[in-house]
Amino acid sequence: MTPFYDLASLTKPLVTAPLALAFLDLDADRRWILGFHDRETPLTVRQLLSHSSGLPPWRPFIGEPVAVQLRREVPEHPLLRPATPGLATYSDLNYRLLAELLEAELELPFARLGAALGLSPAPWNQPPTEVPDGPDAAAWSLATSAPFPPRDPGLPHDANARAGMQGHAGFGTTSNQLRSALRRWVVSGWPDRMAVATATGEQGTHWGLGLQIAFSGGGRFGHLLSSIPLGFGIQVLEDATEELPLVAPPLEVEPGPASEWWFHLGFTGPALFYRPSDQCCLGLLLHRRGPEGGLLDAEALRARRWAAVARFVGQSRG
């Protein structure tokens, strides 16, 4: 059977951001329509796309408006913490709100809008490899008294997306399907519109309108990808194994200068890299699960991604 992959947060650059860029005014103030009546500053699509809206990283998807959830006090947790003043904070909430705006503007369900871009919206007939719950499962009970959503193989894996897929997750793909979707994505000009420096983020990140810059310091993907010659077009790299990954090179303390590459990562393992100068695009499909069935931690996942990209880099250099 052809492997099928949960794209998780790659939904953001491949589905939500293109739809927002196509149909929404980037700078109109959306505070009122989204229910942020006590917000003192404008809330725009540009801020939501670049994670510079000031929203915290996460809240559970329970059918309650984001603005209402944010009025409720929550315990301390990395996913529930306030945004860092003056810095872009990566947040699923930004893309949930974008999905709400798109549905209101176009009067169509978000899943139907996204399916037109060539990827498969959940629920899926062919479930991807199951990945254990992530950190949002632990945060769920801290943020709401609503019951934790039951596991369903046809729905996205992380707890938040399993309960609701709006804007930030909920699409899957095979390798051939992703290759076709990436061709359309590049030819339509979406990544070039996303790869525009917009906001400085936490931990030195730099965000565009749906993608972030890859830096070239040691152990970072910008350094590894810089060896790929120009003209390699669109490539999908697939690793359906669950072998223990090799150790990736250590991350240098300093991120180094910005590389030519922009990227986005998905919680369940996939990754997306794009170089505007020649429109080279790499889609990486793999699963965040080890041979014992457990969830790979962030460093082991980086090693698995690094190994897959390094194999391609070696091939591209002959």
pLDDT tens profile 253-263: 899 999 999 99
Domain match, 15 and 164 both: yes
Domain match, 203 and 176 both: yes
Domain match, 68 and 97 both: yes
Question: Where is the domain boundary, 171, 204, 234?
Answer: 171
Note down the domain range covering 45.
5-171
Question: Where is the domain boundary, 113, 137, 171?
Answer: 171
Domain match, 152 and 179 both: no
At residue 243, the pLDDT reads 83
pLDDT tens profile 236-254: 999 988 887 788 999 998 9
Rounded to an integer, the average pLDDT of 65-92 is 95
Q: pLDDT exceeding 90 applies to what percent of the chain?
A: 85
Domain match, 16 and 71 both: yes
Domain match, 40 and 132 both: yes
Domain match, 146 and 27 both: yes
Q: Give the residue carrying structure tokens 């690094």.
A: 306
At residue 203, the pLDDT reads 87
Domain match, 259 and 294 both: yes
Domain match, 165 and 17 both: yes
Q: Is the pLDDT of residue 145 over 90?
A: yes
Whether residue 172 contacts residue 6, with contact meaning beta carbons closer than 8 Å, is answered with: yes
Whether residue 45 contacts residue 27, with contact meaning beta carbons closer than 8 Å, is answered with: yes
The maximal CA–CA distance of the chain, rounded, in angstroms, is: 58
> What is the sign, positive or negative, of the torsion defined by CA atoms of 4, 6, 10, 15?
positive
Question: Domain total for the chain?
Answer: 2
Domain match, 133 and 247 both: no
Domain match, 119 and 193 both: no
Q: How far is CA 287 from the centre of its chain?
A: 15
Q: pLDDT exceeding 70 applies to what percent of the chain?
A: 99
pLDDT confidence tier of residue 318, bands split at 50, 70 and 90: low
pLDDT confidence tier of residue 275, bands split at 50, 70 and 90: very high
At residue 219, the pLDDT reads 94
Give me the chain's average pLDDT, please.
Answer: 94
Domain match, 197 and 165 both: no
